Homo-oligomer: A and B are copies of this chain.
């Protein structure tokens, strides 16, 4: 009888709360689509500020702007968290050409990879050797590589549905290619851009020399996919052609920068902290609208949409705009370090760093029990065409918060167009659709709302009632 009563109470409670939840999600989505701020904020970040490479004046402008916008929202707390960041500058634009015979040249589109050293002032000119992967260098050996420019031509795999998997399949070519080629005496590396489309934009991104001494470091650049095809075609006809490139980039001293943080303090469990974030820095070629202006403005809008929708969170909700995800992850590491030193209890963190495209769902790093609990909320998201709730990667900036208890999640927008723009000059505002961006912000807010309401514990409601 007692059990029956509990069951009835449970059913009733669940039904009422599902109804309220559906209503609250409706409020959140309607607010986002009718008076969301994401698009207006992104317009400012992209068109009034622009590319925001760590340590640049633009990055500092973005810190000041977003702090000011947080302050306008009437949050409980807004602050800057200091963090030292690396400062790499591109210098004068790069240029490059293929020389088929003396005086016969064809210009190609390249850009220095982030972290690369410069070429000598008047450039490098050398023969080329083309490989599919730096892993093929060992077999070729120093004899065939020494004195040459290594051309790593590794196309992203087109038949993977999730384009991030295709990216994962060749991002190490960009990151580690130069260090590996240098070991065999190469004088430079040219890496095919990580872009599934054939076009003329070179895509930058971080690279590392590992522990290679300074005097062994060789310049490394990305070449556009069209020009990678061109170059490969030319080499198939004549492997005796020259390639020349000039780049003027430089690694300077670390400088002071900031994570920007806004907080709604929890009404019942203020010490249980939920983080939502994106990264404020971007590469310098475009204006960083998709990577990751979108995640920044969506995270800001989560706090605003909760307030606008009349939701008072029980737990503390922090929007964290991380600095330096692109070439150092210093912001993410600093945030986790401070959280640990203050013994803060972070229960959930959600990152948006996959572009401002139509949201498809979320991926989670958590226990199976917690994933089951999250999947039970799935019907609430169906009216918004959010279907994907699976185990998977969360995000780089929140990664350092990982421990046995915290639930980590990443927004999963449609990924088909992301690498058309990623780290390239065409990552610009006009390629973000207002509604798609706003649907992302609403989806994030809805997940945060549910996570705040139901917490990250996984004991059943019946057991709770018995306690």
Residues in chain A within 8 A of chain B (CB atoms): 29-30, 33-34, 158-159, 161-163, 196-197, 358, 360, 383-385, 387-388, 414, 416-417, 420, 433-436, 439
Contacts and interface: CB of A to CB of B under 8 A. Distances in A.
9 contacts: A30-B159, A33-B159, A158-B435, A358-B358, A358-B416, A360-B385, A416-B435, A416-B436, A420-B433
A161 B162 CA distance: 23
Contacts of A388: 385, 387
B414 A161 contact: no
Nearest to A387: B387
A417 B162 CA distance: 21
The 6 closest A-B pairs by CB, nearest first: A387-B387, A30-B159, A33-B159, A416-B435, A33-B158, A416-B436
A150 B380 CA distance: 42
A29 B360 CA distance: 19
Contacts of A159: 29-30, 33-34
Nearest to A412: B385
Contacts of A414: 358, 414
Nearest to A196: B435
A196 B434 CA distance: 10
Contacts of A384: 161
A433 B417 CA distance: 7
Contacts of A30: 159
A161 B197 CA distance: 29
A358 B418 CA distance: 13
Contacts of A439: 161, 416
Contacts of A434: 197
Nearest to A420: B433
A201 to B, nearest CB: 14
A362 to B, nearest CB: 13
A138 B236 CA distance: 74
Nearest to A438: B158
Contacts of A34: 158-159
Contacts of A360: 385
A385 B434 CA distance: 23
Contacts of A196: 435
A252 B332 CA distance: 67
A303 to B, nearest CB: 20
Nearest to A197: B434
Contacts of A433: 416-417, 420
A40 to B, nearest CB: 12
A249 B370 CA distance: 63
Contacts of A162: 385
A218 B416 CA distance: 45
Contacts of A417: 433, 435-436
A384 B158 CA distance: 13
Contacts of A161: 29, 383-385, 439
- Name the residue among A197, A358, A439 with the largest chain B CB count within 10 angstroms: A358
A244 to B, nearest CB: 32
Contacts of A29: 159, 161
A263 B420 CA distance: 36
Nearest to A162: B385
Contacts of A436: 416-417
A431 to B, nearest CB: 11
Contacts of A158: 33-34, 435
Given A197-B434, A358-B414, A414-B414, 14 more contacts: A29-B161, A30-B159, A33-B158, A33-B159, A158-B435, A161-B384, A161-B385, A161-B439, A162-B385, A360-B385, A385-B387, A385-B388, A416-B433, A420-B433
